[in-house]
Amino acid sequence: MTSFMPPAQKNWWAVPVGRQELVWIAIALVWCLIMFFMMPFWHMYGDQNISNEGYRVTPVKYQAKVNEMIEKYKVREVGAMKIPVVAPPDGGDVYLMARLWQWYPMLELKKDVTYRLHLTSIDWNHGFSLQPVNINLQVVPGYEFVLNITPNKAGEYTIVCNEYCGIMHHTMLGKIWVKE
């Protein structure tokens, strides 16, 4: 058969479907139904999706909240750029800001204490990826996202921007230290 041959003079919908095709159609349908019902199941019972709140915010107002937190709770500075490290009170609000090409400030949290982590970007879209925990969020300018977090292991965690944000994107790293 070539493309130069005229089409068959029959209705394609009237041709009987082969057994093998029916088996594959049934397998595909069952798999689609399994995947469809797993999405709400994992959302409710899988502890996979982070419950969060979102608010509209302006960069100037959010920057003021970050600076106020730094003034109250700064414990030290790190690196050549002297980025402040903040140790907020137990159960307090923690403000983390994404900006070209930096997570600001760095955080020092306590193990097994719940904090309200506020995230926003003051310039472009950024991605918040907490490693090695594998928490991934989009951080969007104009929106403040609030997460309830409870660190359950002591150690050093790295925040990576996983949304391309410009020429120095690869240097956009932050730190969270979790103390006993």
d(CA 95, CA 76) in angstroms, rounded, equals 17
Question: Residue-wise pLDDT tens for the chain (180 aa)?
Answer: 566 776 667 777 778 888 999 999 999 999 999 999 988 888 777 766 666 788 899 999 999 999 999 999 999 988 888 889 999 998 889 999 998 888 989 999 999 999 999 999 998 899 998 888 878 888 899 999 998 888 999 999 999 998 888 888 888 999 999 998
List the domains of the chain with CATH numbers: 52-179 (2.60.40.420)
CA angle 48-32-137, nearest 5°? 25
* CB-CB contact of 124 with 166 (8 Å): yes
- Residue 110 main-chain phi, psi, to 5 deg: -105, 145
